[in-house]
Amino acid sequence: MSPTDRKKECIAMLLAGGRGSRLGPLTEEIAKPAVTFGGKYRIIDFPLTNCVRSGIDTVGVMTQYQPLLLHDYIGKGQDWDLDLLYGGVSILPPHHTPGSTAWYSGTANAVYQNIDFIDRFDPEYLLVLAADHVYKMDYKEMLEHHKKVEADCTIAVLEVPIEDASRFGILNTDPNDRVVEFEEKPEKPKNNLASMGIYIFNWSVLCKYLKEDAKADSEHDFGQNILPNMLADGKRMFAYRFDGYWKDVGTEESLWQANMDLLDDMHLGFEGWPLLSKSAGRPPHYVAPTGSVKNTLITEGCEIYGSVENSVLSAGVIVEEGAKVIDSVIMENIRIGKDGTVQYAILDENTVVGEGASVGEPREKGGKVTVVSRCSVIEREEGKA
Amino acid sequence: MSKYTALCLSDPHPDHVNDGSSERTLSAARFAGRYRLVDFMLSNMVNSGITDIGIILNSHYQSLIAHIGMGKEWDLARKAGGITFFPPYMTDARDSEYSAIDGPLQRAARALRGTKSEYVILVNGSAVYNMDYRPAIEAHKENGADVTAVYAKKEVNKDAGEQTVVFDITEDNRVRSIKTASRLSGTANVSLGAYIMPKHIFLQLVTGVKYCGMLRFSCERLAPAVSRLKVMGYEFTGYSAQISSVETDFRHNMEMLDSEKRAALFDYEGRRIFTSRRDSLPAKYGKAARVENSLVADGCQIEGTVINSVICRNVRIGPGAVVENCVLKDSTVIQQNAKLDWMITDRGVIVSAGRNLIGAPTYPVFIESERII
């Protein structure tokens, strides 16, 4: 595909409107795809980078819940080389039309409301992506597979342990990986192929189903409505197996764990496929003579006078003398005051941990990860040393 | 086109120095882990509201152009104004000593002549400081000066004086003489290589010049004119550095370990220094890493020990390796158990396992780019 082609073979639509309420305070003011990850990234960097690396240069980002920061972050798409003459990244919030003032009422409805946008590029195929997973994937290979098996719809799947299968959308398949049944979070899973929230459709086929679904009494959801309807009509639906790193960062615990996974393999398979993001543009980080840093990721603008271990630090974090940061994810512009302690916690942007204050419990105690919302100020508790 | 135009000159490397950046013009030399020297000048301009910037190129400028590009990182990629490069042509006359050429500066002057620009700010593309030029421009107008020359009061020493220009300044702040600091020592008014002047004075001063370096402009053009023109001094009191040799490259990089100096340079009065941004991963410290008093850029992987050092982007330091008092530029690899003390590497150097390389505080040893040791 040439960037100046007006007709695109395949374009991507990102579902970025969800709140991600299981992330608690982290998504009170921002949408889940805008949540900070791995020191320099936001979750949306993963699908955007994957698109760019897969040669998909037209991406619609459907936003709805708390979109300000997300819009600001995406900008004109320059950080992903998606500021193009034709295509590139387009932000697609819900909008009024004659006779309708609707919000996006479901994943399928969001795409339905943007049929005109998609048709401008006259695509053969539509890639529909959830924007809340951490993974590296070449969608081009998936598209080739989709064409090879002459599918109407291809769903990327991951083999999960059967005991976890009831947490996912599960695909029951025949020996050729053709999907015979789709079950959303089944109580008694018959299979262990979990949907990764990555779909490729023949656009002409999907468009028809979206229009029918819009008229029906429906949840307007891909998993609950569109896919079952297509299966009922005998459409060719196939599973596409993926065996790389993939993590749903939908909960506080899984977000913490995915950050820690970076410490074991910081590339997540991203060698030669650098993850693209908007960087803060600050000086390199400084570690003072009193500082100590072990098994940690640190990025620009940080100043470390205390000790940091098993942690991931975003830009502009100050750890003052005597302060300790252990097993934690520290987001942008956070100050950990003198002799402060942060253990097994996620601290959201612009938070201040006061002198001698303490956040979180040691991980060995076996409790849950402590999450502190953005712009918090944590003072030392009276009576504590 | 606004009222002010900046023209950025770059001095070539002094011939006698086997400098870290001999493959590239001085203003493209790396500094403080992730910057190029020209970042300071470009950031100063945009932070002062000056967005018409001409870059005079003379030689070895490929990496400078690659770094600046359209000027996007400084908000200088714009329809009106922004960055204009003035490269030399093959047909331009050459000066063998400086490999400098008269063409680029003359073409810039010609381009300027037809514009509505009223003032020219001539700056040195390799000077390191963070300054808002607007108060200096105001002072220039109030003084009714022909030229305003920015300087800092600094110690100069006998050895490193040949690239340094100093001003003799009267009590009423007038510049009485301009000369190089060779054989000088003690405190002097050191030029930052920044001159503010109305366009017609600039055109007068550069007509017929056969070079485009800042040093020669100061000494051969401005110096003889101080009796004829009203040249006023403007003192800059913040942090400033001029890199012109291995020794100064090493020393000023090391100064960035001083938090006060770093603050005075990178976030002075809220003014940021912008540079091109890459997609490096965050720096990763291993379980046995030890790091003290060091500046470390993104993309580095540190398994060994780093003390009193400046580590640029994408450097790898293997397990058991010890790096002390070093400046390691981009993509240097120090393999396991190697030891380095008082060394400065250019980009892409590989020091193989177990090597022991030791310079001295008075003589940091330089390793040129892509060397495998």
Q: What ipTM goes with this model?
A: 0.86
Count CB atoms within 10 A of the CB of residue B236. 18
Q: Give per-residue pLDDT as tens, A57-100.
A: 999 999 988 888 899 999 999 999 999 888 999 999 988 877 77
Count CB atoms within 10 A of the CB of residue A221. 17
Give the residue on B whose Cα is nearest the Cα of A78: B72
pLDDT of A292 > 50? The answer is: yes
**CA distance linking residue A33 with residue A129, whole number of Å:** 12
Angle between helices B103-113 and B199-206 (to 10 degrees): 150
Enter the tokens of residue B129. 């400081």
Count CB atoms within 10 A of the CB of residue B111. 14
**How would you write the pLDDT of chain B (373 residues) with one tens digit per residue?**
478 999 888 766 554 344 444 567 788 888 999 999 999 999 999 999 999 999 988 778 888 999 999 999 999 998 888 999 998 887 776 655 555 556 788 888 989 998 889 999 999 988 999 999 999 999 999 999 999 999 999 888 765 566 788 999 999 999 999 988 777 778 889 999 999 999 999 999 988 776 667 888 888 889 999 999 999 999 999 999 988 778 888 999 999 999 999 999 998 888 999 998 888 889 999 999 999 999 999 999 999 999 999 999 999 999 999 999 999 999 999 999 999 999 999 889 999 999 999 999 888 888 888 899 8
Q: For B287, which of A270, A295, A297 is closest by C-beta distance?
A: A295
Q: What is the pLDDT of residue A195?
A: 93
CA distance A24 to chain B (A): 26
Enter the tokens of residue A40. 């320099």
**Element (H or E) spanning A168, and its range?**
none
Contacts of residue B293 in chain A, CB cutoff 8 Å?
A: 287-289
**CA distance linking residue A268 with residue A43, whole number of Å:** 14
> Best interface-test mutation with A: which of B42, B298, B313, B328 has the largest number of A CBs within 10 A?
B298
Contacts with B64 (C-beta within 8 Å, 6 or more apart), sequence order: B10, B24, B25, B27, B28, B36, B38, B55, B57
Q: What is the pLDDT of residue B18?
A: 43
Average pLDDT over residues A287-295: 96
Q: What is the pLDDT of residue A54?
A: 94
pLDDT of A266 > 80? The answer is: no
- Report the first-to-last Cα separation within chain A, whole angstroms: 64
Q: For A293, which of B34, B285, B295 is closest by C-beta distance?
A: B285
Give the residue on B whose Cα is nearest the Cα of A309: B287
- CA R_g for chain B: 21
Contacts of residue A281 in chain B, CB cutoff 8 Å?
A: 73, 272, 274-275, 277
> Best interface-test mutation with B: which of A263, A293, A313, A321 has the largest number of B CBs within 10 A?
A293
Q: What is the pLDDT of residue B20?
A: 44
* Residues forming a β-bridge with A330: A313, A347
Contacts with B195 (C-beta within 8 Å, 6 or more apart), sequence order: B121, B122, B123, B147, B148, B149, B150, B222
Q: Which residues of A touch B (CB under 8 A)?
A: 38-40, 78-79, 263, 266-267, 270, 274-277, 279, 281-289, 291-300, 303, 312-313
Of B329, B190, B349, B152, give the one whose Cα is nearest residue B250. Answer: B329
Contacts of residue A40 in chain B, CB cutoff 8 Å?
A: 281-282, 298
Contacts with B160 (C-beta within 8 Å, 6 or more apart), sequence order: B244, B245, B247, B248
Contact of A205 with A152, CB cutoff 8 Å? yes
Contact B281 A275 (CB under 8 A): yes
Mean pLDDT of chain A: 91
- The 3-state DSSP class for residue A345 equals strand
Contacts with A121 (C-beta within 8 Å, 6 or more apart), sequence order: A6, A7, A8, A11, A58, A87
Of A300, A37, A318, give the one whose Cα is nearest residue B313. Answer: A300
**CA distance linking residue B193 with residue B191, whole number of Å:** 5
- The 3-state DSSP class for residue B47 equals helix
DSSP structure class, residue A88? E
DSSP structure class, residue A289? T
* Angle CA B315–A296–A242, to nearest 5: 90
Give the residue on A whose Cα is nearest the Cα of B312: A284
Confidence of residue A5 (pLDDT cuts 50, 70, 90): low
Which amino acid makes up residue A371? Answer: V
Contact of A371 with A345, CB cutoff 8 Å? yes
**CA distance linking residue B243 with residue B251, whole number of Å:** 9
Give the residue on A whose Cα is nearest the Cα of B274: A281
Confidence of residue A1 (pLDDT cuts 50, 70, 90): low
Enter the tokens of residue B125. 């593309």
Count CB atoms within 10 A of the CB of residue B45. 24
